[in-house]
Amino acid sequence: MNKTLSSVFSLILAAFLFLSLQACGSQRTLAQSAQTRGTKAADRDYSIAPDDPSGFVVLTDVVPDVILEIRYYSSFNFVGTRVDGYEEPIALMTKEAARALKDVSDEAMSLGYRLKIWDTYRPQMAVDHFCRWGEDVADTLTKRYFYPYLDKDVVFDQGYIARRSGHSRGSVADLTLVDMKTGRDIDMGYGFDWFGEESHPDHKASITEEQYANRMLLRKLMLKHGFLPIDEEWWHFILKDEPYPNTYFTFPVRTLK
């Protein structure tokens, strides 16, 4: 009887040791797997939430030759005041878009031009500010400068104001070219944020051949280096392979920490 009990006890002890070793091995495997996942996430170093700017850079840190004229930090824009979310007159972009814009800048400079940036990343709070402005049809302070041929009550229906903006995904640039010889913007016919068909890149009815050629020069440079145009605005380009096609970020425009 004692031998039988001893044998049973030995079998139980052996089974316990086996299961313990298996459990330890599984824990090591899970820990190693978690460590690997953590390492890969660190290597990616990109945003994982709308309020997380880790996938963004200050544009001038990557493209030091650009000229900044951040319109929504100033009052010279269609809203007529500084726009919510623009806490500093800087430009932020996703790392991927900034690197692509560096290639655009380098080629533009080889041709005698510099890039001037009006807007890049735009937080959702700024878009919300635009919407409040659009809903206030009595506020026409800037009409003569930006939408003289439109009644303000059509800005939503005709797509000039929207509840979401590709800018909030971080890979869009509103920009133009500056002639390094003169120090002036090249003539595009109509300026940034002009509400009207005259802003369409292929519009020819009321611009000169030179103005049209200037629009096409900017378009050619941007397309060559991975950006896509839109049909409504000659100044607006979006990175073809944007890293956050479904994320609309909320953090303000200010120096990254």
Non-local (6+) Cβ contacts of 133 within 8 A are: 78, 79, 139, 161
Clarify whether residues 31 and 65 are in a common domain.
no
In a domain, 133, yes or no: yes
Clarify whether residues 26 and 100 are in a common domain.
no
| Residue 20: band (very low, low, confident or very high) from pLDDT cuts 50, 70, 90 | very low
pLDDT tens-place string over residues 219-233: 999 999 999 999 999
Clarify whether residues 76 and 202 are in a common domain.
yes
Return d(Cα 193, Cα 30) in angstroms, integer: 53
In a domain, 84, yes or no: yes
- Average pLDDT, stretch 143-148? 97
Distance, C-alpha 143 to centroid of its chain: 28
pLDDT tens-place string over residues 78-127: 999 999 999 999 999 999 999 999 999 999 999 999 999 999 999 999 99
Clarify whether residues 12 and 71 are in a common domain.
no
Q: Would you name the residues annotated as active-site residues? A: 233
Q: What is the mean pLDDT of the chain?
A: 86
Four-residue CA torsion sign, 206, 210, 213, 214: negative
pLDDT above 70 (res 1): no
Q: pTM to 2 decimals?
A: 0.82
In a domain, 148, yes or no: yes
In a domain, 95, yes or no: yes
| Residue 6: band (very low, low, confident or very high) from pLDDT cuts 50, 70, 90 | very low
Count the Cβ atoms, other than its own, within 10 Å of residue 131: 16
CATH number at residue 205: 3.30.1380.10
Clarify whether residues 92 and 145 are in a common domain.
yes
Clarify whether residues 165 and 207 are in a common domain.
yes
- Average pLDDT, stretch 60-83? 98
pLDDT of residue 257: 84
- Average pLDDT, stretch 10-30? 39
Return d(Cα 99, Cα 225) in angstroms, integer: 10
Scored b (16 or more CB within 10 A) or e, 82-97 reads: bbbbbeeebbbbbbbb
- Owning domain of residue 121: 56-239
Clarify whether residues 114 and 156 are in a common domain.
yes
Scored b (16 or more CB within 10 A) or e, 6-43 reads: eeeeeeeeeeeeeeeeeeeeeeeeeeeeeeeeeeeeee
In a domain, 40, yes or no: yes
Alpha helices in the chain (DSSP H): 2-44, 59-62, 95-110, 124-135, 143-146, 209-224
- Average pLDDT, stretch 138-157? 96
Clarify whether residues 8 and 101 are in a common domain.
no
pLDDT of residue 123: 98
pLDDT tens-place string over residues 179-214: 999 999 999 999 999 999 999 999 999 999 999 999
Clarify whether residues 94 and 7 are in a common domain.
no
Which residue did the predictor score with more confidence, 28 or 244?
244
pLDDT above 90 (res 155): yes
Token duo for residue 188: 């595009």
pLDDT of residue 122: 98
pLDDT of residue 29: 33
Token duo for residue 98: 């900034």
In a domain, 37, yes or no: yes
Clarify whether residues 84 and 179 are in a common domain.
yes
- Average pLDDT, stretch 154-158? 95
Clarify whether residues 40 and 93 are in a common domain.
no
Number of independent structural domains in the chain: 2
For the CA atoms of the chain, what is the radius of gyration? 27
| Residue 44: band (very low, low, confident or very high) from pLDDT cuts 50, 70, 90 | very low
Clarify whether residues 141 and 194 are in a common domain.
yes
In a domain, 250, yes or no: no
Is the Cβ–Cβ distance between 225 and 107 less than 8 Å?
yes
